[in-house]
Homo-oligomer: A and B are copies of this chain.
Amino acid sequence: MTTQGRGLHAHVLENLGPAIAAGEYPPGSVLRTDELAQRFEVSRTVIREAVRVLESMHLVESRRRVGVTVRPTEQWNVYDPQVIRWRLAGTDRPHQLRSLTVLRSAVEPVAAGLAARYATAEQCAALTEQALGMVASSRGQQLEAYLVHDVAFHRIVLQASGNEMFARLGDVVAEVLSGRTHHQVMFEDPDPAAVTLHVQVAEAVREGNAIRAEELTREIAVGALKELDVLAP
């Protein structure tokens, strides 16, 4: 096993979760606890705990006399970071990345505007630091370093917005950016225009210019969407 997680039930989850998310068990499929217990060579107790978690994510529904049935996709808790990760690891990553990027394009500009109003001095400094980091690593195939700064940048913006719902999207953004870098085969260095925009957003936030921060972030989002259009129809 690659990773056993912390506990057997986590191990079961790491297998069942991605399998269901990938559509390996289509909606309506029925799993039986005893069967799973045999397959994973663990007790029914462990299986039941895993099933409870899947149930709380609305991936499955457990009913007496019938078994554990996979729920239709529309009902899944698609904001659960775990579910997001599982789906991104699966077959419909492109579709998934698009959905998430559209979400980003709606949320991040507003978050940037709020950040311009409420960011602390420390957050402004951190933002500038990450923007500069992006500049520094934007050339010469330093994609990993660039990714780190990019993620940190957007995390800070979401955090600095002061809205906890926005702040919690940091993980989602991280997944999206990471997915883009790692799975969409970014051969080339990042778009210089995007890098510049990040620097400008940091400036706008520091100056407390909400309108400008929002507008610039919107441009970044548009760029991200266009990038998707190029790679996937």
Contacts and interface: CB of A to CB of B under 8 A. Distances in A.
Number of copies of this chain that the complex holds: 2
Interface of A is mostly: helix
A168 B49 CA distance: 26
Interface in A55-108: 55-57, 73-74, 77-82, 99-100, 102-103, 105-107
B52 A165 contact: no
Contacts of A81: 77
Interface residues of A, number: 35
B105 A165 contact: no
Contact of A163 (B45, B49, B103, B111): B103
The residue in A57, A110, A166 that gathers the most chain B C-beta atoms within 10 A of its C-beta is A110
Contacts of A194: none
A167 interface: yes
Contacts of A103: 107, 163, 165-166
Contacts of A114: 102
20 contacts: A9-B52, A45-B45, A49-B49, A50-B52, A53-B53, A53-B55, A53-B56, A56-B56, A56-B57, A74-B164, A78-B164, A79-B79, A79-B165, A79-B168, A99-B165, A100-B165, A102-B110, A102-B163, A103-B163, A106-B109
